[in-house]
Amino acid sequence: MEVTRDRAWETLTRYTQSEALRRHALAVEASVGAYAQKLGGDEELWRATALLHDFDYEIHPTLDKHPQDGAAILREEGWPEEVIEAVLSHAEHLVMPRDTPLKRVLFACDELSGFVHACGLVRPTGLDGLEPKSVKKKLKQPSFAAGVHRDEVYAGAELLELELDDHIRNVVAALQPIASELGLRTAADAPA
């Protein structure tokens, strides 16, 4: 099959009704897409993989099924192994080697995109003006976006051999153009 982000979106939305999960997929897609451009990856395939990485979470919300049972569905649908292997590799409990740029980028963008998204949701100007410093401060507050695994955020930056500040900046910049799809305000919405 031809791998396109639109086809991935179709698969995602067939299995996922939750707006929060769809937004998570869009956020990770934007970040992974930005890194595809930076690193010379196949942007369409990388975006499709990012959209699909949690596509089965709604039907398989436990780690004995997600994402491994989802992978079987993707295989049946004819997605290539390159996509399926990368989807599987995002899961820490499967302990798979992250031996391609796509696998490293997907892992590095998963938790951080969710975290930056959460930071934007509590700011009157959304992501506009959000600096790495304040993201890092919130990372140190365990009660803020408590579901985000901090150790995976730090491990992701390391895996990409990036300073955490640069990784955060890249993710913030990637999410800004889709702020409204993510339900975020922008500076234009803030009272003067």
Residues contributing to the site for Fe ion (CB under 5 A): 54, 110
Q: How far is the CB of 66 from Fe ion (least distance, A)?
A: 6
Between 26 and 128, CB nearer to Fe ion: 26
d(CA 49, CA 84): 8
Amino acid at 47: R
Between 110 and 128, CB nearer to Fe ion: 110
Between 29 and 110, CB nearer to Fe ion: 110
Within 8 A by CB and 6+ apart from 164, the residues are 132, 136, 153, 154, 157
Q: How far is the CB of 91 from Fe ion (least distance, A)?
A: 6
Contact 22, 12 (CB under 8 A): yes
Nearest to 96 by CA among 109, 85, 108: 85
Q: How far is the CB of 111 from Fe ion (least distance, A)?
A: 7
Q: How far is the CB of 68 from Fe ion (least distance, A)?
A: 11
Q: How far is the CB of 108 from Fe ion (least distance, A)?
A: 12
Between 94 and 187, CB nearer to Fe ion: 94
The burial of 10, by beta-carbon neighbours within 10 Å (0-12 exposed, 13-18 middle, 19 or more buried), is given as exposed
DSSP state of 144: T
Between 46 and 128, CB nearer to Fe ion: 46
d(CA 104, CA 145): 23
